[in-house]
Structure 1
Amino acid sequence: MSIIDSSVNTRSEAYQANAAAMRKLVNDLRDRVARASLGGGEQARDKHLARGKLLPRDRVDSLLDPGSPFLEFSPLAGCGVYQDPDGSDAAPGAGLITGIGRVSGQLCVVVCNDATVKGGT
């Protein structure tokens, strides 16, 4: 494969400003995805566990082949649609975990309802 030449000056002020802005956006995205992956919050998670249920992400992990990757499709689905009184997201991931992963060696689409979000527990 041939090398693609670039005239981007990675030391320029404009490049540095753009890189800093992008780092901020990427960090914000990572924070939002991390918060969404917690589901419906600590109280709902505790209630779920007290009933002897596996948390949704634990169910997905136990379904997938050990050590195999899982590509989550839409961890921020429904972001900003429903809000709690404190302004936080009330329906992280739209109450679903969806993605593709290996089950018994076969690639499968996985859909898991998260009962810690918007009811169920």
Structure 2
Amino acid sequence: MTHQRYEFARRKCIASLPENVKRLFQFVESKELTLADEALSENHYIQLLQQHSPVLEAADKFKMEPAEVYTAVQRIERYLEDHAASYEKKLKFFDMTEELQLHGLCQCNDNVKYYYFYDNN
């Protein structure tokens, strides 16, 4: 559950970014994830990054210098590391499985749980 909690916090932090910064970051991250899915090994992933640089593609798409894109992405990553971790600690989560089953809103299945994340912000 910790990983899902962190990912939820991270997505909320990304959503709070200014629109142009968010689009740049999501573009680069999406390209990196696509290459990671294609890669057969860690070395292959590095080769793919060199051949199809998400930073260079973003620089072209957003009409920026590659160094600007790289710096912006690094700044956003630092922001996410700092803020997502602290935001994650504020999150509360509740097991809503029984409540949903009681109201017939989900199937009874011992292998599936339904959680609700709550932040009081």
Q: Same fold (TM over 0.5)?
A: no
TM-score, L = length of structure 2: 0.30
Normalized per residue, which structure has more helix?
2
Normalized per residue, which structure has more strand?
1
TM-score, L = length of structure 1: 0.30
